[in-house]
């Protein structure tokens, strides 16, 4: 049986390196092209059955345009960005091969894909859809199939809204002159856990987060909604409107429904583990 060759463009980066090891472990031949290698992206594409574009978000579409004409019609082109509409449209437009948008919803520091979510957006998948799903699922990954539009809408909440809030909180603390370590001396375990997640973000690549926040076209709408909700809550607090605050709070609690109990149980466990480590 022929061994598939996977070409990873951007394969010397962290995520590209993760998938290089993954596909090698799963019996594929892997070749790599990046600014650090002699192998050019176009040559990598010509020599590969599956090409994975793993470059920064703002460089992805241009790279797709650059290599698409080099690919055989029976091959597969994948991108790994956290935005899907633009890259998938570019892959369909500029290539004749199979096309699947992919978003691994995890960082490159994980030990494996087991229990990790991978979103796939099959656009012109053919035989490759089953191949890609099978190789991930046999390693324990959780596969979510979605359209590029659905993916980007969900990421405007999961990434756009969430990371915006984290950045705003950190910037407000800085402007207020808060000493983080001193604040932890007064803090509940919940606050300490929150600060751990905030600090984790700022130990990552700022260029990556810049792309996530500025290039998803759905983010503006979501942040406009956040702004209106924040202004409403601010007015309630400024007016010392206790009844209004309770209504606002209860409205949010009702929205979260049964998830509240699961969230409390899981966060209690995480807090307990964190306290044990300290």
Q: Give per-residue pLDDT as tens, 202-237.
A: 999 899 999 999 999 999 999 999 999 999 999 999
pLDDT in tens, 134-149: 999 999 999 999 999 9
Mean of pLDDT values over 5-31: 95
CATH 3.40.50.720 segments of the chain: 5-146
Q: What is the C-alpha radius of gyration for the chain, rounded to an integer number of angstroms? A: 22
Distance CA 120, CA 108 (A): 18
User: What residue ranges of the chain are covered by domains with CATH 1.10.3660.10?
Assistant: 150-277
Give the pLDDT band of residue 277 (cuts 50, 70, 90).
confident
Structural domain 5-146, CATH architecture: 3-Layer(aba) Sandwich (3.40)
pTM score: 0.92
- Ordered alpha helix ranges (H), the chain: 14-25, 41-46, 57-67, 85-94, 128-137, 148-155, 162-175, 180-185, 189-201, 206-215, 219-238, 242-256, 259-277
Mean pLDDT of 156-173: 96
Pick the CATH number of 150-277 from 3.40.50.2020, 1.10.10.10, 1.10.3660.10, 3.40.30.10: 1.10.3660.10
Q: What token pair was written down for 104?
A: 């691994």
- Is the backbone of residue 55 left (phi > 0), alpha (psi -120 to 50) or beta? beta
Distance CA(110)–CA(139), nearest Å, equals: 13
pLDDT number for residue 119:
98
Q: How far is it, in rounded angstroms, from Cα 159 to Cα 213?
A: 8
């Amino acid at each position: 049986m022929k061994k598939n060759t996977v070409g990873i463009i951007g394969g010397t980066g962290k995520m590209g390196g993760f998938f290089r090891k993954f596909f090698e472990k799963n019996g594929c031949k892997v070749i790599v092209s990046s600014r650090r290698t002699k192998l050019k992206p176009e040559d990598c594409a010509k020599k590969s059955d599956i090409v994975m574009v793993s470059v920064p978000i703002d460089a992805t579409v241009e790279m797709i345009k650059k290599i698409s004409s080099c690919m055989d019609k029976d091959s597969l082109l994948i991108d790994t960005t956290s935005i899907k509409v633009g890259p998938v449209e570019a892959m369909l437009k500029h290539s004749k091969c199979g096309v699947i948008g992919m978003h691994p919803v995890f960082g490159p520091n994980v030990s494996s894909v087991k229990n990790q979510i991978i979103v796939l957006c099959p656009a012109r998948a053919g035989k490759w859809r089953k191949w890609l799903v099978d190789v991930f699922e046999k390693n324990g990954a959780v596969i979510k199939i979605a359209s590029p539009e659905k993916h980007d809408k969900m990421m405007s909440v999961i990434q756009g809204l969430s990371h915006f809030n984290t950045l705003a909180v950190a910037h407000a603390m800085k402007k207020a002159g808060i000493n983080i370590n001193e604040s932890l001396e007064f803090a509940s375990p919940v606050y300490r856990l929150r600060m751990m997640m905030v600090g984790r973000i700022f130990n990552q690549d700022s260029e990556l987060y810049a792309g996530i926040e500025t290039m998803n076209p759905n983010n503006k709408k979501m942040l406009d909604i956040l702004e209106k909700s924040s202004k409403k809550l601010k007015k309630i607090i400024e007016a010392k409107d206790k009844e209004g605050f309770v209504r606002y709070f209860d409205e949010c609690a009702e929205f979260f429904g049964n998830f509240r109990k699961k969230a409390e149980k899981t966060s209690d466990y995480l807090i307990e583990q964190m306290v044990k480590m300290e």
